[in-house]
Amino acid sequence: MIFIGIALLVACGLALIVGTDAGSFVGLTQMQTAQVIPLVLILIIFAGGAFGRSHRVKELLGSLVLWIGIFALAGVTYAYRDELNGLVGRVAGEFRPSVAVVDDERGTATFRRGPGGHFELMADINGHSTPMIFDTGASAVVLTLADAKAAGIDTSTLQFTIPVSTANGTGQAARVSLDGIEVGGIKRKGVRAFVAEDGALDTSLLGMTFLETLTRYAVTSNSLELTD
């Protein structure tokens, strides 16, 4: 009961500070101080429960150090949450290079270089998830016949009359317009694209008709950054 009483007194004191317009308290704003109140209550009540039992001094000190460590870790995690989010995204990008690490504030999407040396991206085309390769040498977005069909394009009416050069050699392609394409959260509509004839292309290409709509794109040794 003594510890519960102390907890209530501490909570009332903090609430009084928050309720007044006294500015910050030990470096915290009034909003942050208000968020600390339940944490302080929990800490004191748990401490009270520990001391309310007949434990040895070492056990009591161990429990106290444990709870202090838990709350310290929680505080550090909260304080550095933005940096930790970036770190988690970076680590995730290493394991899944085709998935973008998105920075909404900067309007960027960053991809890691894949095991094959290419930047392999996952794009959403007309609502369909499509694997693509970043290729500044492609004058337009180029889709394989299978990806075009999966994206809802009626390939039976296409006229494959445009010569294109691909990794498989020279082939024919048909011009189309994409209803929508999204890469790493960056969305575009009405993007001009080509559909390669069957067997002319192994993987769809993210070419210049999308890239030229960006504010910028930058390539380093291991990363690709697209800026909306």
Q: Convert the pLDDT of each residue in 89-101 to its tens digit.
A: 555 545 556 788 8
Q: Where in the chain do CATH 2.40.70.10 domains reside? A: 98-227
The pLDDT assigned to 199 comes to: 86
- 51-66 pLDDT, tens digit per residue, is 555 556 567 667 667 7
The pLDDT assigned to 93 comes to: 47
Is residue 162 within 8 A of residue 172, CB to CB? The reply is: yes
Query: CA 94, CA 146: separation in Å to the nearest integer?
Result: 28
pTM tops 0.85, yes or no: no
Burial of 89 (0-12, 13-18, 19+ CB in 10 A): middle
The topology under which CATH files domain 98-227 is Cathepsin D, subunit A; domain 1 (2.40.70)
For the chain, what percent of residues have pLDDT higher than 70? 60
Task: Report helix, strand or coil for 22.
Answer: coil
Which has the higher per-residue pLDDT, 46 or 67? 67
Of the candidates 32, 38, 42, which has an alpha carbon nearest to the alpha carbon of residue 68? Answer: 42
Asked if residue 164 has pLDDT above 70, the reply is: yes
Do strands 204-206 and 128-134 pair parallel, antiparallel, or not at all (unpaired)? parallel
